[in-house]
Amino acid sequence: MNFCWTTLHVSNMEQSLNFYHNLLGLPISSRHDNPHGQVVMLGEGDTKLELLCVNGEKEAVVNNYVSVGFTVESLDKTRDYLVENGIEIIRGPVSPNPHLQFMFIKDPDGCEVQLVENL
């Protein structure tokens, strides 16, 4: 068994695509409209992030105990880039051991996003 994707329900697909695709740089691997809404798959390789925007849902349901995480080359450069683009760092950077540091931001619907640098 292999892990293939995580689904996030979003309230506004274009805002979410601006955040995950334009700001964080995740490539769009597929995009589909159906009678119930829109589905966009982001990422490369076997593991994807699925954004699901259901017609008529004005608010996305966010589980405050779940976060999605992405590795970055430099947490310092990423932090500077995010601040320049008006994204608030909500926690961190934290370094739980000498080989890892991370920080948290929130997506447009309030889902926590963890950005991780392996040292």
Q: For the chain, how many structural domains are there in total?
A: 2
Q: What is the mean pLDDT of residues 24-31?
A: 96
List helix spans (H) across the chain.
13-17, 75-84
Quickly list DSSP for 49-74: EEEEEETT--S----TT-EEEEE-S-
Kindly tell me if the per-residue pLDDT of 63 is higher than 80: no
Three-state SS at 8: strand
Of 57, 77, 100, the domain-final residue = 57
Range of the domain at 13: 1-57
Give 34's pLDDT tier (boundaries 50, 70, 90).
confident
pLDDT in tens, 68-118: 999 999 999 999 999 999 999 999 999 999 999 999 999 999 999 999 999
Give 67's pLDDT tier (boundaries 50, 70, 90).
confident
Please state the pTM of the whole predicted model.
0.88
Residue 36 to residues 20, 33, 66, 81, Cα–Cα distance (Å): 22, 8, 25, 35
pLDDT in tens, 41-52: 999 988 999 999
- CATH number, residue 98: 3.10.180.10
Of 57, 74, 92, the domain-final residue = 57
Residue 76 corresponds to which amino acid?
D
Considering the domain architecture, whether residues 53 and 72 belong to the same structural domain is answered as no
